[in-house]
Amino acid sequence: MSGMTPLTESRSRHDGHPSQRALEVRCVTGSAVAAVLHDIARLRAVVLQAWPDLHDGDASAERARLEPCARAWRSIAVLVMDGDQIVGAALGLPLEDDHGAIRQAFDLAGRDAATAFVLAGSVLLPAYRGRQLGHRFFSERENHARSLGGFETTVFASTERDDIDPRRPPFGRSNEAFWRRRGYTRSLALPLGPPAGPESGEFPPARQVAWTRPLERGY
């Protein structure tokens, strides 16, 4: 029998695949967010080229969108690390420190920006999905907002596109059911208008929709 490899020692052809690897979730806050902004912007530039965001892959534009998170002392970045590589990231900051469409909608609606904490996007490379990290992104940011105190609502913006848009993937998966399970509802009282950035006039225009959830309800 010597010289034979026992079956129990055989290696799976999936060994080394991202879905098999141990990942670390790391949270950085406030001024420490600046140090990871460049890597997060590059990751977003890759992931958000997909439907429905259809960003143009420009990392410097992504970085500019994230700058408020680097300046806000109460911001958070939740990072998914595969070794020393950032393979997923989600950001959050007080709405008071943000000056984008959500802030404008709050101001126009006469709502107090100091009561809201913004979830400023989450991205995870496709090979790492389906491991509950999307849930973790929400929980870490909601817990951070709760621990800061003074916030009544968490809010984020999603990009929506027309059903008849020919770029819609045939088997695409929407995040809506996931967001609803997390307690979020579409807030039509906070109209956000079109997303920032260039859009091709050839296709139906995209729109941004605000989703909100009262923070005091635990998950």
Ligand X SMILES: CC(C)(COP(=O)(O)OP(=O)(O)OC[C@H]1O[C@@H](n2cnc3c(N)ncnc32)[C@H](O)[C@@H]1OP(=O)(O)O)[C@@H](O)C(=O)NCCC(=O)NCCS
- CB of 10 vs ligand X, minimal distance in Å: 28
Q: How many residues does the chain have?
A: 219
- CB of 40 vs ligand X, minimal distance in Å: 12
- CB of 5 vs ligand X, minimal distance in Å: 35
Cα 213 to Cα 219: distance, rounded to the nearest angstrom = 11
Q: At what angle do helices 37-47 and 59-71 cross, to 10 degrees?
A: 140
Site for ligand X in 147-206 (CB under 6 A): 173, 175, 177-178, 181
**Which of residues 89 and 105 has its CB atom nearest to ligand X in the complex?**
89
**Which of residues 38 and 129 has its CB atom nearest to ligand X in the complex?**
129
Does 20 contact ligand X by CB under 6 A? no
**Which of residues 21 and 73 has its CB atom nearest to ligand X in the complex?**
21
> What mask of x and - would describe binding to ligand X in positions 101 to 140, judged by CB under 6 A?
--------------------xxxx----xxxxxxx-----
**Which of residues 71 and 135 has its CB atom nearest to ligand X in the complex?**
135
- CB of 8 vs ligand X, minimal distance in Å: 30
Question: Judged by CB under 6 A, how many residues of this single chain contact ligand X?
Answer: 17
Q: Which residue is nearest to ligand X (CB)?
A: 134
Q: Under the rule (CB under 6 A), what is the footprint of ligand X?
A: 47, 121-124, 129-135, 173, 175, 177-178, 181
